Each structure stands twice: as C-alpha cells, then as structure tokens.
A = this chain, B = another copy of it.
C-alpha cells in the first residue's frame, strides 16, 4: 500500500504564536545571575533587544509572532513532516517513524527560525548591525541570511580553525552579505591581545564570543545575538513542534516518543516542548522525550546540574544548567558537532525533573545511522542530526523485539551538505570514539562559579 510520505500544511497554517513552556513548568527557573555580582539579572540591555529580553523571562504561554516574521517563514515553512517508510522497512520495525525536515530552509537547518526573529526585533528597535560568533558556521550563515532580508549589517567572528577548514560556510555568509573574520581578529582588543601572544592562534568558540560581544558593546547601533541555549531562542524554535502537532493531528496520531539531538538544546526543545507541555499538564504522562548527545560532550548524561557561566571566558550571565564546566573543550577527534559545555536552562531543568531523558552516542555509531538514513530516506543529514537518528533506530529496533507499534517522532534539523569532510573522515576510518572521563567532570566542579 502506498502512503503519503509527507504531511503538509498551508502557509496560512503557520502558527501565529510561539509556545512558551515557562508557563507550564511546575516551578519557575532559577534566576539568571550577573557574572560579577551574582545578583539576579537580565540579559545585558546594551547587547540584546528589549523585546527579546522580555521574551527571555516571560511566563505567558503564547507569544504572538509578528506578521513580518511569518511572512519570511513562508519562504520555507511550514516544513514537511515525513513518514520514514523506507527506514521502517529496512529496520523491519512495527514502529511508525516520522521526522520533521528543516533542511528545506535556505541556510539548510532550523537555525533561521530564530535568526529571522532576532533580526526582526533588533531592526524594529533601530539596531542597524548584528554581531555573532560561529564555529562550524551553521548559525553564522543563518544570521547572515536573516540580516540580509531585514537589511541589517552582519558581522561574524568565525573560529579561525573552522574559517580555514570550512571555507564554504564562509562563502555562504559572504553571499548573504555578512562580513566574516577569522577569530582571534585584530578587530577587538580581545583578539589583538591574543594575536600579540600567538599570531597563529587557532581560536576557540569562547574567544569568538568575547570578540562578538566586545564588538557589539563598542560599536554604535550594534547588538549581539546567540543561536541557541537562551529561552527566547528556544521559544522561536517552538514553531517546529507546533507545526508538527498540527501535522500529526491531520493523520490522527500523537507521538509516543520524541527524539532530537542536543548541543545547546534549541532544536530539540523547539520540536519537543509543544508536546512536552501536554506532559507537564498531565495530559500525556507516558510521552517519552529523549535528548541525544555525543559521548564526547555528554552534558546531560555526565554533567552536573549547577550554576555556571554561559560562555567559556566568564563574561556571560551565570545560569543554572547541566554543564561540563565552562572551560570544557571537546576532543579534537570529535567530528559530530554539538560541542557546547552547557545546555539550555529550560531543557536542563526539565531533564533534572525527570520529564526528559538523555542518551549519549559514539560518533562512529551516529555516522552508521546517518548512512542508513541516506540509503533509505535519501537525504544526507548533518552529523548533529545523526545523533537523533541513532536514538530513533535503537528505539525502532526495540519495538521490533517487543512488537510495539509505537509512533516515533524526531527532528531532522538539517542537511549535511557542508559537513561532507566529516563523512570522508568516517569512510577513511579516521573517526575515533571517545568516552568522556569521569575525573574530568570532577575537576570541572572546581572551576564552577561559587554562587550563593
């Protein structure tokens, strides 16, 4: 029997409001603290738009999406919900597997869902220029795309080693009009000092954040932006889960299990939170919500739930979250993305409280999963996304053993067109699996900020 592979929505069905899970949390989040005074604080107002700051701490369940943002979403939204029939067949599983495919956006991932919103609000508040950091370049290219559509300037500090190794992400940012410099750069005092010490410094995400923040703080009409972790980023990403709920409703289904990959947590949260809200309100008590992370950066499975700095250098506000310590640096051998030391405070809290469980996977296994996906469903996915696929495949195999006809949903967060060097490393047998040592977690404890 031939079934539809895609469940589509019309543009009119693009949600008109984002879902704010803070309205349904059993208890409010622990406050965000100032990095020096340790007093409750907001996001620095000289770095963030006031509307984004309002959204960050809002307890309203629904937050209106301005029509100008919905109009840009129409370029690629609503994204299709796919039934993975060929993958099911290959696994001989009685489970039904569905995925939401965000690779259809111009930058090729879920990131523009929030980049568009952040560019819009900053534009409305008179900001003319946005800065950010980027590692592999997925966030930087999404912000470049968004700023071009709202006629803002865009300045991206790209970790030097990525700038050299991933030249095509840089090209993509150039096409959308962004200025991209390798970090450390001579554009900031932070960068200048580092280059004086070491002119060949490979850079790091921590340094790039410091440069982007310094740039925004010292240049007129400039603000800083972040592509994950923060509550307002998670909020904007709920557009995905809200669409998926409508799509499942059209086929009279509701998922039994939801899988997503976790780096900072925004793609996972964006897909899962609109369903998880039902669980929080007691309507879907059995919903299984699974965060998939790399064994090389096992924040949720081996980290600590503590107050820590959001950045690597101790300038950002302190938030309570799962963390491996803000000076954690993932091993160089790790090709699979998802390298952040912490996680979204919302995701962390809900994991701590038992509403989400986490699994960690090795990189050779996640590439095996990505290959099976490409061989059956066709699409070549990002290594980050492959963590979710690995989780789904394991679950589908369990269903084969038990005979359960579960409905499994996962977020397919983006394509791997700019990650093929990682696939090459996999083919060439160069990927080494790395188990994060328990002693390192202990040592990280010593560097956490002493709060309260």
Interface residues of A (CB under 8 A from B): 2, 4-6, 8, 10-12, 67, 71, 74-76, 86, 104, 106, 108, 145, 148-149, 167-168, 171-172, 174-177, 371, 374-375, 377-380, 417-418, 420-421, 423-424, 427
Contacts and interface: CB of A to CB of B under 8 A. Distances in A.
B175 A380 contact: yes
B8 A8 contact: yes
Contact of A374 (B4, B12, B108, B175): B175
Contacts of A418: 417
A417 B108 contact: yes
Contact of A417 (B6, B71, B417): B417
B420 A145 contact: no
Contacts of A108: 417
A414 B328 CA distance: 41
A169 B378 CA distance: 15
Nearest to A176: B374
A420 B427 CA distance: 23
Given A168-B420, A171-B420, A417-B418, 16 more contacts: A2-B74, A4-B10, A6-B11, A6-B74, A75-B378, A106-B374, A106-B378, A168-B417, A168-B421, A171-B421, A171-B424, A174-B424, A174-B427, A175-B380, A175-B420, A176-B374
B6 A380 contact: no
Contacts of A67: 2
Contact of A380 (B104, B172, B377, B379): B172
Contact of A171 (B74, B167, B175, B423): B423
Contact of A104 (B75, B104, B171): B104
A386 to B, nearest CB: 12
Contacts of A175: 371, 374, 380, 420, 423
Nearest to A108: B417
A233 B17 CA distance: 46
A176 B86 CA distance: 15
Nearest to A371: B175
A75 B5 contact: yes
A148 B377 CA distance: 11
Nearest to A4: B11
Given A74-B4, A75-B5, A378 B420 contact: no
A172 B421 CA distance: 10
